[in-house]
Structure 1
Amino acid sequence: METELSLSIILSATAVIVFLYLYFTSTFSYWEKRGVPFVKPLPVFGNFVDYIFLRTTSAESFAKIYKKLEEHQFGGFYRGSTPNLILRDPEIIKQIMVKDFNHFIDRNPSLFEKISPLACNLISLTGNRWRKLRVKLTPTFTSGKMRMMLPTIVGCSQDLVLFLRESADDNHILEIRNVVANFTTDVIGSCAFGLDINSMKNPDSEFRRMGNKVLQPTLLTVALRSLVLIFRPILKLVRHPLVSKDVNDFFLGMVKETLSYREKNKVVRNDFLQLLIQLKNKGKVDEDLVSSKDDSHLTNVDAVTSSNEGEDEPLEMTDTLLAAQCFVFFLAGFDTSSTTISCCLHELAVNPDIQERLRKEVDKVLIRHGGKITYEALQDLKYMDSVV
């Protein structure tokens, strides 16, 4: 009897293992059948076993896949058992991102939207909601709008220069990445949220702390994000938000409070939030007085708009939706900008000849533009572009 029971258990366990193996490998012939080169996956994990066990970042995992396909224009890989395509050829990438953009609009469908209101942003939305929001938001990033925000950025830069000058006078040793992070916090806080954060003097501000919570998540959040990359249905079961409740409440409350204050007191600022207020009240942003060749990213908006004609009612720009766009402005701009600037400063420090050449270019351009940092002056900094 015991022998029969043991045999039944072994057979059942074997059947379960075989079923799971077949289930998780059933798609592994997807790219081979289509004649597409691919990186050989592992059962369950696909090509992300190191990422799942937190041995590498997602960026490192994608870079590894990219390098393995270096002899091909494109290739396949697997997120768990889900086949994905990665592009390597610049012309194909340009074709998809520009000419045929209207046919390749969706990222992975977001599972966070119903859990976290801040996930209702342009990165996470798909389908018709994405189309409508994209059409509304694209005109907020014209060269004219960027030119409008430049004085705000210059003001934050002057605070940075003052801080560095005072620190140099006192012979302080600085952790430059923290300094640059405070600077980018001030820029994004002012341009996106319409707030004077002043992180240079108050590095422990609530805005800074909440931002750190987003960019330095808990181990549980990191683990869930790793799993969700491969096994997306897990999020439906766990229902763990993209950000913690206090972060969600802070950013939502801050934007809603700022919106209410501006509307009641007729306050107008040259920032991203003001453009969102225009979208909410008018349905569109004011057009630039002068068009620019720098606005080529607008060329495919007509295609997105025309494909949206005849569909259901317009997208309502609620306060929550506006807050989500401000949040993704922070999410996309903070760490990327501070890391780029920090690495650039390091390279300039260890390459004084390049630093000197760059300094001479900046001095010449400033003389040419009357000693003022203007949008046109920045366009003249060709060597600066190469350095960055």
Structure 2
Amino acid sequence: MSVTYILLYLLIGVLSVAFYFVRKTFNYWKDRGIPYDEPHPIYGSFRGFRKDRVMQDIHFALYKKFKGVAPFVGIFFFQRPTAFILDRQLAKNILIKDFPVFADRGVYHNERDDPLTGHLFALDGVKWKQLRQKLSPTFTSGKMKFMFPTVVKVAEQFVHVLNDLLKEGNNFDVKELSARFTTDVIGTCAFGIECNSLKDPNAEFRTMGRKAFYLTRHNGPVMALIQSHPKWARKLGMRIVHQDIHNFFMRIVHETVELRESQNIKRNDFMDLLIELKKTKSIKLDNGEELTGLTVNEVAAQAFVFFLAGFETSSTAMSYTLYELAKNQVVQDKLRKEVNEVLAKHNQEFTYECMKEMHYLDQVLFEILRLYTIVPHLMRQPTRDYVVPGHPKLVIEKGTFVMIPSSAYHHDPEVYPEPAKFDPDRFSPEKVQDRDNINWLPFGDGPRNCIGLRFGKMQARIGLALLMKNFKFSVCEETQIPIVFDVKSFVLSAKDGIHLRVEKI
């Protein structure tokens, strides 16, 4: 038999096996008698993702199509069978009541070959649990109070820079300005480095921040395969963090740790807390588990995710807030009045306590996070088969990807009438009390909620309060109404920025 025939038979064999597994995968929900969305052979239920649709558009379509059909329906996250949770009570059970079953996220990570993916957001099982226990003390209200003056200092610099820019014109991309502000905040608090992004938009940290959300190591189909088959990808040593980004953050962290340890430098920032955890000796817990200190690579991974999550989500929320306030001058005036009254009570000194007194600011920010859900879904993965309460025939099998479409919940007219309308009164104390917490999930819920939510809200509050005190925002000729979202972004981001008119008060 010639070599040509042997290769041909091998090719046919490989294709046959591949076809069998693909068909078996795409029949997953059909074989179990569960309603499902017919999949695309590569993108599954996410046709058009990163091409002509953002993630929340896909969620809205699936939610509208299947709501009321069942507590959950089957979809395919690329080629990965996924339970799409429609019933909010089931979502609440998954996040809180039955959390021990759903402690894992099931997203791709490979700390051996791609160390920056070994962070708290991605890790599962015992590794996640131990890391969360180590890091939780660094995000207490006491620690936030300690970092508060640093954030205020950067926010005051933000005001000075914007005052200087106003000498040259009045129309600005507030999305870019907000990102430069939060980059400087996170750079200072996470790395102890003066990033100077506010003064220099091309500063290295700002450049890497942009790249981290748009620059991928692989093209769409390869990333789809990695996310669909994380165990195989991990065995193959696949990496997802782009090499430029990897090199930058590993270098910065290694240099910072070495400098601080050799010269005994203390800055009372997030990096200090991570270095202390690195020095921590093994601790025996009451349940018999053992906590060990962080490695340098683990320090780098936590600093990396803190930087990305901290600068992008907060800056995006700030820019959407300024956009809606520019369109709603009555709300803007009411918010500015509150800021000025609270600051007057505190002799114009922006203290941690006065920030907490700005209740209407919270209402505005909470409504923005509902209207523009920056991270549009929550992910979980059961560690054992899970029978849906009240539905004995509905089982989410062990290892099945679970998706909770928080952006769709946030736009359900049964919960939020006129969901596309910006209305901070939705978050008045009375209305919040009457509404189940599961209907507002920008930071998740339960034991695996966003560990940095206090910090994220703090820097956004400070930045917005000082901007309201010093400037008026309004729409201009370049303002895009409605906003067009960037399909290339992993989070809900405005394409081509958010341009507004800024005037000094």
Query: Could you say which residue in structure 2 is the equivalent of 1:157?
Result: 155
Distance 1:218 1:177, change over 3 A: same
Q: 2 CA distance for matches of 1:182 and 1:109?
A: 29
Choose from 191, 206, 217 the match for 1:193.
191
Within 5 A, what are the aligned runs for 1:1-388? 20-32=18-30, 34=32, 36-43=34-41, 45-51=43-49, 54-71=51-68, 72-108=70-106, 110-217=108-215, 220-232=218-230, 235=233, 241-282=239-280, 309-311=287-289, 313-388=290-365
Q: Note the alpha carbon deviations across 1:93-137, whole angstroms, 9 max, x for none.
A: 333223332321212253432322111111222222112111111
Deviation at 1:202, TM superposition (A): 1.8
| Higher radius of gyration, 1 or 2 | 1
Q: 1 CA distance for matches of 2:235 and 2:280?
A: 40
Distance 1:94 1:316, change over 3 A: same
What's the TM-score once normalised by structure 2's chain length?
0.63
Q: Per residue, is there more helix in 1 or in 2?
A: 1
Q: Note the alpha carbon deviations across 1:278-323, whole angstroms, 9 max, x for none.
A: 2222359xxxxxxxxxxxxxxxxxxxx77xx335x53331111111
How much identity, in percent, do the aligned residues show? 38
Q: 1 CA distance for matches of 2:87 and 2:122?
A: 26
Q: 2 CA distance for matches of 1:167 and 1:247?
A: 30
Distance 1:245 1:220, change over 3 A: closer
Deviation at 1:334, TM superposition (A): 2.1
Q: 1 CA distance for matches of 2:246 and 2:217?
A: 18
Comparing both chains, which one has the higher relative contact order based on Cα–Cα distances under 8 Å and sequence gaps of 6 or more?
Answer: 2
Q: 1 CA distance for matches of 2:217 and 2:259?
A: 37
Q: 2 CA distance for matches of 1:346 and 1:360?
A: 18
Q: 2 CA distance for matches of 1:325 and 1:221?
A: 26
SS of the residue 2:48 aligns to:
helix
Q: 1 CA distance for matches of 2:25 and 2:223?
A: 23
Deviation at 1:35, TM superposition (A): 5.4
Q: 1 CA distance for matches of 2:218 and 2:343?
A: 49
Distance 1:21 1:68, change over 3 A: farther
Q: Per residue, is there more strand in 1 or in 2?
A: 2
Unaligned runs of 5+ in 2: 1-7, 366-505
Pairs aligned (count) = 356
The answer as to whether partners of 2:280 and 2:293 remain within 8 angstroms in 1 is no
Distance 1:156 1:283, change over 3 A: farther
SS of the residue 1:56 aligns to:
coil
Deviation at 1:213, TM superposition (A): 2.0
The answer as to whether partners of 1:78 and 1:84 remain within 8 angstroms in 2 is yes
Amino acid at match of 1:163: V
Q: 2 CA distance for matches of 1:282 and 1:17?
A: 52
Unaligned runs of 5+ in 1: 1-8, 285-304
Distance 1:202 1:57, change over 3 A: same
Q: 2 CA distance for matches of 1:134 and 1:317?
A: 12
Query: Could you say which residue in structure 2 is the equivalent of 1:302?
Result: none
Q: 2 CA distance for matches of 1:58 and 1:91?
A: 23
Distance 1:50 1:387, change over 3 A: same
Distance 1:65 1:210, change over 3 A: same
SS of the residue 2:207 aligns to:
helix
Q: 2 CA distance for matches of 1:45 and 1:355?
A: 42
Query: Pairwise CA RMSD of aligned residues?
Result: 3.1
What's the TM-score once normalised by structure 1's chain length?
0.80
Q: 1 CA distance for matches of 2:72 and 2:249?
A: 40
Is 360-369 or 256-265 further displaced after alignment? 256-265
Q: 1 CA distance for matches of 2:90 and 2:273?
A: 34
Distance 1:237 1:142, change over 3 A: closer
SS of the residue 2:288 aligns to:
coil
